[in-house]
Structure 1
Amino acid sequence: MNLVRILFSYLVQFVLGLRYRVRVGGTADAIKQPGPYLILPSHPAYMDPPNVIAHLWRTFRMRPMLLETNFESPILAPLAWLLRAIKVPETEKASAEARQRAAQSVQEVITALKAGDNVVLWPSGTLSRNGKDSLGAARTAADVLKAVPEATLVLVRTRGLWGSSFSWAYAKKPRLVPMLFRGIRQLFANLILFSPRRRVAMRLESFAAKDRPEPTREKLNPWLEAWYNADGGEQPTFVPYHFLFGPRTIEFPPPVQGADLDVSKVKPQTIEMVKEIVEQQLKRPLTPEENKAETTFAQLGLDSLEGMEIALQVEQRSGFSSDLVPTGLGQLWALADGLLDSGPPKPAPKEWFAPPSDTRPLEILGETVAEAFVNRVGANRREIAAADDLAGAVTYEKLFVGATAMAARFRDLPGDNVGLLLPASVAADLAFLGLHLANKLPVALNWTTGPANLEHAAKLMKLSRVVTSKKFIDRTQIEVPGTQFVFLEDVRATMGKFELLRRLLGLRFLSGFAKRKALGGVNTDPQRPAVVLFTSGSEKAPKAVPLTHANIIADMRGATPPQELTRADSVLGFLPMFHSFGLTIAGLFPLLAGAKVVHHPDPTDASSLARKAAAYKPTIIISTPTFVGFILNRCKPGDLDSLRLIVVGAEKCPDDIFRRVKELAPHASVLEGYGVTECAPCVAVNPVSKVKHGTIGKPLPNVTVCVVDLESGEKLPPNKMGLLLVSGPTVFPGYIGYEGESPFRDLDGVRWYVTGDLAALDDDGYIVFHGRLKRFLKAGGEMISLPALEEPLARMFPATDDGPRVAVEGIERDGGRLIVLFTTEEIALRDANAALQKEGFRGVMRLDEVRKVDAIPVLGTGKTDYKVLRAKLTEAKP
Structure 2
Amino acid sequence: MKTLHEVFIETARQKKDALAVYDRGTNQEYTYDRLLTASCIFSDRIRHSTQDSFVGILMPSSAGGIIATLAVLMAGKIPVMLNYSTGVARNCTYAREVCGFTTIISSRTLLQKLDEEPLEGMLFVEDIVKSVTSTQKVVGVIKKKFAGFFSASSKPDDTACILFTSGSEKEPKAVQLSHRNILSNIADITQCFEIRQEDVFMSLLPYFHVYGLTTNFWLPLLHGCHLVAEPNPLAYRSIVQDISAYGATVIAATPTFFMGYARQAEKDSFSTVRVAMSGGDSLSTALMKEYQERFGLTLLEGYGTTETSPVISVNTLEEHKAGSIGKPLPSVEVKIVDIDTHEECPPGKQGKILVRGDLVMKGYYNNYEETALRIHQGWYNTGDLGVLDKEGFLWHKGRLKRFVKIGAEMVSLVSVEHALSTLLPEEGACCVVDIPDRKKGARIVAAVTEVVNDKKIRRQLRHTLPAIAVPSEFVFMEELPLMASGKVNFREVQRLCRDIFQV
TM-score range, shorter chain: 0.7 to 0.9
> Once the 2 structures are TM-superposed, how far is the Cα of residue 639 of structure 1 from its aligned partner?
2.1
Kept after mapping to 2: 8 A contact 1:421/1:445: yes
Q: AA paired with 1:610?
A: V
Kept after mapping to 2: 8 A contact 1:397/1:504: no
Q: Which residue of 2 aligns with 1:401?
A: 37
Kindly report which structure 2 residues correspond to 1:259-658, keeping only aligned pairs within 5 A, or say none: 367-389=2-24, 390-414=26-50, 415-450=52-87, 451-478=89-116, 483-497=120-134, 499-500=136-137, 503-504=140-141, 507=144, 511=145, 514-519=146-151, 522-537=152-167, 540-658=170-288
Kindly report which structure 2 residues correspond to 1:656-675, keeping only aligned pairs within 5 A, or say none: 656-666=286-296, 668-675=297-304
Q: AA paired with 2:319?
A: K
Kept after mapping to 1: 8 A contact 2:111/2:118: no
Alpha-carbon distance change, 751 to 847 in structure 1, aligned in 2, over 3 angstroms: closer
* Distance in 2 of aligned mates of 1:380 and 1:690: 32
Q: Which residue of 2 aligns with 1:158?
A: none
Alpha-carbon distance change, 726 to 503 in structure 1, aligned in 2, over 3 angstroms: same
* Distance in 1 of aligned mates of 2:218 and 2:85: 21
Kept after mapping to 2: 8 A contact 1:721/1:759: yes
Alpha-carbon distance change, 768 to 458 in structure 1, aligned in 2, over 3 angstroms: same
Q: Which residue of 2 aligns with 1:732?
A: 361
* Distance in 1 of aligned mates of 2:217 and 2:369: 32
Q: AA paired with 2:317?
A: V
Kept after mapping to 2: 8 A contact 1:538/1:786: no
Kept after mapping to 2: 8 A contact 1:470/1:489: yes
* Distance in 1 of aligned mates of 2:323 and 2:449: 14
- Considering fraction of residues, name the structure with more strand: 2
Alpha-carbon distance change, 691 to 438 in structure 1, aligned in 2, over 3 angstroms: same
SS of residue paired to 1:763: coil
Q: AA paired with 2:394?
A: I
Q: Which residue of 2 aligns with 1:766?
A: 393
> Once the 2 structures are TM-superposed, how far is the Cα of residue 810 of structure 1 from its aligned partner?
6.3
Q: Which residue of 2 aligns with 1:713?
A: 342
SS of residue paired to 2:316: coil
Kept after mapping to 2: 8 A contact 1:531/1:546: yes
SS of residue paired to 1:636: coil
1:48-107 Cα distance to aligned partner (Å, 9 max, x none): xxxxxxxxxxxxxxxxxxxxxxxxxxxxxxxxxxxxxxxxxxxxxxxxxxxxxxxxxxxx
1:812-842 Cα distance to aligned partner (Å, 9 max, x none): 98989xxxxxxxxxx9999xx9xx9xxxxx9
Kept after mapping to 2: 8 A contact 1:398/1:504: no
> Once the 2 structures are TM-superposed, how far is the Cα of residue 734 of structure 1 from its aligned partner?
1.2
Q: Which residue of 1 aligns with 2:380?
A: 753
> Once the 2 structures are TM-superposed, how far is the Cα of residue 844 of structure 1 from its aligned partner?
6.0
1:84-142 Cα distance to aligned partner (Å, 9 max, x none): xxxxxxxxxxxxxxxxxxxxxxxxxxxxxxxxxxxxxxxxxxxxxxxxxxxxxxxxxxx
Alpha-carbon distance change, 592 to 408 in structure 1, aligned in 2, over 3 angstroms: same
Which residue, out of 680, 687, 700, partners 2:329?
A: 700
* Distance in 1 of aligned mates of 2:118 and 2:335: 40
Q: Which residue of 2 aligns with 1:684?
A: 313
- Structure 2 segments unaligned to the other structure (5+ residues): 404-412, 418-430, 452-474
* Distance in 2 of aligned mates of 1:560 and 1:435: 26
Alignment root-mean-square deviation, CA: 3.5
* Distance in 1 of aligned mates of 2:150 and 2:499: 62
Q: AA paired with 1:428?
A: G
Alpha-carbon distance change, 580 to 808 in structure 1, aligned in 2, over 3 angstroms: farther
Kept after mapping to 2: 8 A contact 1:453/1:542: no
* Distance in 1 of aligned mates of 2:202 and 2:215: 11
Q: Which residue of 1 aligns with 2:464?
A: none
> Once the 2 structures are TM-superposed, how far is the Cα of residue 503 of structure 1 from its aligned partner?
3.6
1:160-197 Cα distance to aligned partner (Å, 9 max, x none): xxxxxxxxxxxxxxxxxxxxxxxxxxxxxxxxxxxxxx
* Distance in 2 of aligned mates of 1:815 and 1:652: 19
Kept after mapping to 2: 8 A contact 1:464/1:484: yes
> Once the 2 structures are TM-superposed, how far is the Cα of residue 663 of structure 1 from its aligned partner?
3.9
> Once the 2 structures are TM-superposed, how far is the Cα of residue 515 of structure 1 from its aligned partner?
2.7
* Distance in 2 of aligned mates of 1:810 and 1:753: 32
* Distance in 2 of aligned mates of 1:744 and 1:589: 27
Kept after mapping to 2: 8 A contact 1:420/1:442: yes
Kindly report which structure 2 residues correspond to 1:1-12, keeping only aligned pairs within 5 A, or say none: none
1:14-36 Cα distance to aligned partner (Å, 9 max, x none): xxxxxxxxxxxxxxxxxxxxxxx
> Once the 2 structures are TM-superposed, how far is the Cα of residue 637 of structure 1 from its aligned partner?
2.8
Kept after mapping to 2: 8 A contact 1:447/1:478: no
* Distance in 2 of aligned mates of 1:537 and 1:759: 22
Alpha-carbon distance change, 411 to 456 in structure 1, aligned in 2, over 3 angstroms: same
> Once the 2 structures are TM-superposed, how far is the Cα of residue 731 of structure 1 from its aligned partner?
0.1
* Distance in 1 of aligned mates of 2:155 and 2:301: 33
Question: May I ask how many residue pairs the two structures share in their alignment?
Answer: 444
> Once the 2 structures are TM-superposed, how far is the Cα of residue 391 of structure 1 from its aligned partner?
4.8
SS of residue paired to 1:448: coil
Kept after mapping to 2: 8 A contact 1:537/1:785: no
> Once the 2 structures are TM-superposed, how far is the Cα of residue 544 of structure 1 from its aligned partner?
0.4
* Distance in 2 of aligned mates of 1:642 and 1:545: 36
SS of residue paired to 1:602: coil
1:576-623 Cα distance to aligned partner (Å, 9 max, x none): 111100011122210012221111001111111111112111001111
* Distance in 2 of aligned mates of 1:727 and 1:812: 36
Q: AA paired with 1:587?
A: F
Q: AA paired with 1:458?
A: R
Q: Which residue of 2 aligns with 1:204?
A: none
Alpha-carbon distance change, 396 to 691 in structure 1, aligned in 2, over 3 angstroms: same
Larger RCO (CA under 8 A, 6+ residues apart): 2
Q: Which residue of 1 aligns with 2:426?
A: none
Alpha-carbon distance change, 854 to 669 in structure 1, aligned in 2, over 3 angstroms: closer
* Distance in 1 of aligned mates of 2:375 and 2:135: 56
1:205-248 Cα distance to aligned partner (Å, 9 max, x none): xxxxxxxxxxxxxxxxxxxxxxxxxxxxxxxxxxxxxxxxxxxx
* Distance in 1 of aligned mates of 2:278 and 2:312: 13
* Distance in 2 of aligned mates of 1:851 and 1:724: 31
Q: AA paired with 1:702?
A: S
Q: AA paired with 1:711?
A: D
Kept after mapping to 2: 8 A contact 1:374/1:400: yes
* Distance in 2 of aligned mates of 1:786 and 1:446: 25
> Once the 2 structures are TM-superposed, how far is the Cα of residue 853 of structure 1 from its aligned partner?
9.0
Q: AA paired with 2:364?
A: Y
Q: AA paired with 1:761?
A: L
Instruction: Give me the TM-score of the superposition, normalised by structure 2.
Output: 0.80
Q: AA paired with 2:22?
A: A
SS of residue paired to 1:774: helix
Kept after mapping to 1: 8 A contact 2:22/2:228: yes
> Once the 2 structures are TM-superposed, how far is the Cα of residue 465 of structure 1 from its aligned partner?
1.3
- Structure 1 segments unaligned to the other structure (5+ residues): 1-365, 791-798, 817-826, 837-841, 857-878
Q: AA paired with 2:15?
A: N
Q: AA paired with 1:724?
A: I
Kept after mapping to 1: 8 A contact 2:203/2:217: yes
SS of residue paired to 1:412: helix
> Once the 2 structures are TM-superposed, how far is the Cα of residue 504 of structure 1 from its aligned partner?
3.7
